[in-house]
Structure 1
Amino acid sequence: MLSLFSFSQMDLDTGGLDIPYADKIVHFTFYLVFAFVGSLSLRERTSGSLGLRKTLIIVLIFAILYGMLIEVLQYTLTTDRMAEFADVLANTLGAFAGIGLIRWFFSKKNPLKWKF
């Protein structure tokens, strides 16, 4: 819901800090966390019975489709929010990074166990 909310009418004090592409960094970070936590959540929900590869594919597809849906909704339902391809790209790259972190955590020399 917050992805469709307009912050333009609010007076948000940024403290004069101007970070180039800050919104893309936020998109990337949110989707990295989304994919990471989503993978762990799906693992817990299925009691580890769903394989790592299958879980990562499901979460990755869901994250990418969700990011695209939000951008389409911003374009169609809001008047002051913009849908940007760069946002979809940042979302997708963040989701891949989150999946990469999960793969890294579960494939080290002494990996965490996927199954319980």
Structure 2
Amino acid sequence: MSGFLALKPFHRPRVWLGLWLVAVAAVVVLSLVNLSGLPPVPEGGDKVEHFLAYALLSAAAVQIFRDRGTCVAVAVALVGLGIGLEFAQGMLTTTRMGDPRDALANTLGAMAGLATVLTPARHLLQAMEARLLPARA
């Protein structure tokens, strides 16, 4: 379990980490696939989507990882991911284009999610898990 020392003490830490990694992968895939068949969003609505996606990823990391330093490192990595995906959209796809305002929305979202480390809500997932899966005798 030494590789999971940075995780909070959950009943099933690998499950929570795995779900978070699936969410990160979903953001990567959805950032690069052709979404032209979806209904259009109102102008600027995609910036809200970018902000929310990265805020949720970052806030979820706060729920999963034990210390603030790890949470900061994850948020910085998410900022890098968001910027990198904007470049990838412009360079690797023909149906998407990179937008610096999307990268800014990603960054602001990651920072907003990280800010939850300063609130009592940072332990919400642990509390929910403890209620759902009481300690074994």
TM-score of the two chains, using structure 1 as the length reference: 0.72
26, 38, 41: which one aligns with 2:61: 38
Q: How does 1:57-68 map to 2 (within 5 A)?
A: 57-68=72-83
Task: Give the whole-Å Cα distance in 2 for the aligned partners of 1:105 and 1:62.
Answer: 24
Quote the RMSD (CA, aligned, Å).
2.1
For residues 19-75 of structure 1, the C-alpha deviation after alignment (integer angstroms, 9 at most, x for no partner) is 33100000000000010112222x2xxxx3xx32x0222111111011011111111
| Kept after mapping to 1: 8 A contact 2:59/2:114 | yes
The number of equivalent residue pairs is 96
In structure 1, the gaps of 5 or more residues are none
Structure 1 consecutive aligned stretches of length 4 or more whose deviation exceeds 4 Å: none
Q: Does 1:94 align with 2:122?
A: no
In structure 2, the gaps of 5 or more residues are 1-28, 124-137
16, 22, 32: which one aligns with 2:45: 22
Task: Give the whole-Å Cα distance in 2 for the aligned partners of 1:7 and 1:103.
Answer: 36
SS in 1 for 2:119: helix
Q: 1:103 is aligned with what amino acid?
A: L
Task: Give the whole-Å Cα distance in 2 for the aligned partners of 1:61 and 1:21.
Answer: 24
TM-score of the two chains, using structure 2 as the length reference: 0.62
